[in-house]
Amino acid sequence: MASQIPRPALNPELAQVHQALPKIGMSTKEELESYRQFLGSSFSLDDAIRGREDALSCEERDIPGPAGPMRVTIFRPKNQTRRMEETPGVLCIHGGGLVSGNRFVGVVGMLEWVEALGAIIVTAEYRLAPEHPQPAALEDSYAALKWMSNHSTALGFNPYKLVVCGGSAGGNLAAGVTLLARDRSDPEICAQVLMYPLLDDSNQGDSVQQFGHLVPWTRSNTIDALRYALGENHEHADMYTVPSRATDLHSLPPTYIDVGEADAFRDEDVAYAANLWKSGVSTELHVWPGCWHGFDAFVPDARISLQAGTTRLAWLKNVLENS
C-alpha cells in the first residue's frame, strides 16, 4: 500500500517505466530466484556496450579472489589517445542488494568515462548472499581493487588515479572497500563515486516512510536482503559492511554521492555526506528531484538520467585533473 504521508511527486518522464517494473519479494528462495532472474535479464554485456562497439573494447578474464577465481570484464578505449600518467582506472562494483545482480548492473552509465576520460574500467563478480554472507562480497570487491592496483601498468592506467564507484549495494561495497583501503593503508584511492548507496541497516527515516513501497527496491526488499547478507541479528554488520556505522570518516578521498528524491535511501545518503563533511572530506552531494531508486540504470536515456551522468562525469574529471 502506498504511503499516505506527504511526499514529493515522481519525475513524470520516469513514470511510465516505473509503472512497468515488477514488484518482487525476497522472503523465500523462490522469490529471491525470481529477483535474480529479473536483474540478470535486465543487464548484460550486450546491453552495456550497445552503440559503443566502435569506441571501446572489452576483455573477459578470471582474477584471484579470496575463495577462488572471480570473473571480471575490462573495458578500454579502442583508440587510447592519453598517456598512461593521465589515464584513470575505475573499479565499478555492481548493485543487486548483495543478493543478486551481475557485473553489468549499472555499468552502462560508467562506460561514458571510457570515451570521455580514457578510463580503464574493471567490473567484477562477487559472492552473493545468502549463500555467502558478508564479508564475502566486501572482501571479493577489495581483492578486485587490490588486483587492479597491482596490475595498473599492465592494464594501462596511473595507479594514483584509482577510482572506486558503485550504485545501490555496489555503493555500499564501494564505500566499504574505501574504508578498508584507508585502514589497511593499501591501495591509495583517488576518489569514490557512490550512486544511491545502501549505507545503513536500520531501514528507518522519513524517506523510507515516504518511498519504501516503490519498486524496483522496496523497504521489504531491504529487510530481506540485509537479513541474508548480515545475518538474522545483523551479526555480520560493522563499519565496513554498514558504512554509516563508521564514527570517523577522516582521510577518505574526495567523494561524490547522488540519490533520487524519491529513493528510500535518500536520508541515509544525505546523512553520510554530512558526516564526510564533518570529517573534513571534500564531498559533493546531489539529490535528483522525483527520481526513484536506480532510475538512471533502468531509464538511461531520460533527460534527468543524462543530467546525472553529465554531472558525475564533470565532478570526476575535475578531481582527476587536480589529483
- If you average pLDDT over every residue of the chain, what do you get? 95
Catalytic residues: 168, 263, 293
CATH architecture of residue range(s) 24-322: 3-Layer(aba) Sandwich (3.40)
Mean pLDDT of 16-21: 90
Please say if the pLDDT value at position 28 is more than 50: yes
According to DSSP, the residues that pair with 284 across neighbouring strands are 256
Distance, CA of 96 to CA of 55 (rounded, Å): 28
Q: How much is the pLDDT for 309? A: 97
Q: What is the DSSP letter of 48?
A: H
State pLDDT tens for residues 145-158.
999 999 999 999 99
The H or E element spanning position 286 is: strand 283-288
Mean pLDDT of 258-272: 98
Mean pLDDT of 137-144: 98
Q: How much is the pLDDT for 142? A: 98
- Non-local (6+) Cβ contacts of 232 within 8 A are none
Output the nine-digit C-alpha cell for 147: 588486483
Please say if the pLDDT value at position 310 is more than 50: yes
Asked if 108 and 51 count as a contact pair (C-beta separation under 8 A), the reply is no
Please say if the pLDDT value at position 312 is more than 60: yes
Length of the chain: 323
Instruction: Kindly write down the DSSP assignment for every residue of 91-112, as one continuous string.
Output: EEE--STTTS--TTTTGGGGTH
What's the pLDDT band for 1 if we cut at 50, 70, 90? Answer: very low
Distance, CA of 170 to CA of 173 (rounded, Å): 5
Q: How much is the pLDDT for 3? A: 44
564479508: which residue's cell?
135
State pLDDT tens for residues 7-16.
999 999 998 8
Radius of gyration of the chain (CA): 18
CA distances from 107 to 110, 122, 133 (A): 5, 10, 24
In terms of DSSP H, where are the helices of the chain? 12-20, 29-42, 45-49, 112-117, 136-150, 152-155, 169-184, 206-211, 219-230, 266-278, 295-298, 303-321
Print burial letters for 235-259: b (CB count within 10 Å at least 16), e (below 16).
Answer: ebbbbbbbbbebeebeebbbbbbbb
Domain chopping of the chain, boundaries: 24-322
542488494: which residue's cell?
97
0.85 surpassed by pTM: yes
pLDDT exceeding 70 applies to what percent of the chain? 99
Mean pLDDT of 55-84: 95
